[in-house]
């Protein structure tokens, strides 16, 4: 017998409003006031450059950036037989959120939490990469929408998320995201990690 550490992992997702991204996007409409030159025509170009890609962005957020209560979309017992085949087929789940307040929604953040079992009398040790906990070098994985979507208090967001191995490199991930915000039509976006 042996011991596999960590013993389990949970994967979480939440809608986000990225405050730093919002500052970068809003800069172009403020240039005229600051410097007397109207650069607002570049705001849509900046939005396409910063959000209109399908790359998974690894970046730290704060809890203030989270727009709704995070949801666990997958739980993995890491010592279980058959886990490798399950991961190859994809791991994921459905989600449904109700937003806390009014903000531009830029996308979704995903993160993990792992549990290390304690000894006979010790509590398990939990390592979380949540934006509500101190930052780790893993940070969070951000999945940006193509453009911001304004959400209000109690806006419903629903969908499904699936993590798969990359087609090109088994060490990298793909994320398939299907989501619906309020009364808008359902959208799908396929994200990939870059080398």
What is the pLDDT at residue 167? 84
What is the pLDDT at residue 10? 97
- Token reading at 82: 């058959």
pTM over 0.85: yes
Encode the chain (195 residues) as per-residue pLDDT tens digits.
Answer: 677 789 899 999 999 999 999 889 888 888 888 899 999 889 888 888 888 899 999 999 999 999 999 999 999 988 877 777 777 888 999 999 999 999 999 999 999 999 998 777 788 899 999 999 999 999 999 999 999 999 999 999 999 999 999 888 888 899 999 999 999 999 999 999 887
| CB-neighbour burial class of residue 34 (10 A; exposed 0-12, middle 13-18, buried 19+) | exposed
Which H/E stretch holds residue 24? Answer: helix 19-35
User: Which residue, 148, 139, 146, is CA-closest to 191?
Assistant: 146
What is the pLDDT at residue 162? 97
CA torsion 188-84-111-191 (nearest 10°) is -30
Beta strands 103-116; 71-77: pairing state: unpaired
What is the pLDDT at residue 1? 63
| CB-neighbour burial class of residue 1 (10 A; exposed 0-12, middle 13-18, buried 19+) | exposed
Alpha helices in 36-64 (DSSP H): 43-51
By the 8 A CB rule, do 96 and 180 touch?
no
Domain 8-18+57-192 classification at class level? mainly beta
Residue 17's contacts (CB-CB under 8 Å, 6 or more residues apart) are 65, 67, 103, 104, 105, 106
β-sheet bridge partners, residue 15: 108
Which H/E stretch holds residue 10? Answer: strand 8-16
What is the pLDDT at residue 78? 84
Pairwise CA distance, residues 149 & 72, whole Å: 23
Average pLDDT, the chain: 92
Radius of gyration of the chain (CA): 19
């Amino acid at each position: 017998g042996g011991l596999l550490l960590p013993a389990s992992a949970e994967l979480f997702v939440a809608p986000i409003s990225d405050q730093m991204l919002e500052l970068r996007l809003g800069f172009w409409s403020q240039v005229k006031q600051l410097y007397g030159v109207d650069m607002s025509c570049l705001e849509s170009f900046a939005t396409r450059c910063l959000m209109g890609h399908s790359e998974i962005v690894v970046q730290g957020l704060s809890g203030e950036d989270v727009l709704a209560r995070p949801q666990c979309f997958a739980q993995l017992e890491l010592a279980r037989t058959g886990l490798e085949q399950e991961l190859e087929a994809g791991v994921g789940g459905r989600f449904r959120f109700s937003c806390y307040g009014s903000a531009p929604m830029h996308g979704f953040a995903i993160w993990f939490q792992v549990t290390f079992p304690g000894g006979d009398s010790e509590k398990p040790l939990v390592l979380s990469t949540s934006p509500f906990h101190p930052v780790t070098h893993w940070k969070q994985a951000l999945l940006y929408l193509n453009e911001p979507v304004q959400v209000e208090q109690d806006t419903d967001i629903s969908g499904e998320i699936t993590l798969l191995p990359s087609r090109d490199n088994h060490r990298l991930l793909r994320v398939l995201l299907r989501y619906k915000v309020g009364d808008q039509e359902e959208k799908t976006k396929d994200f990939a990690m870059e080398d």
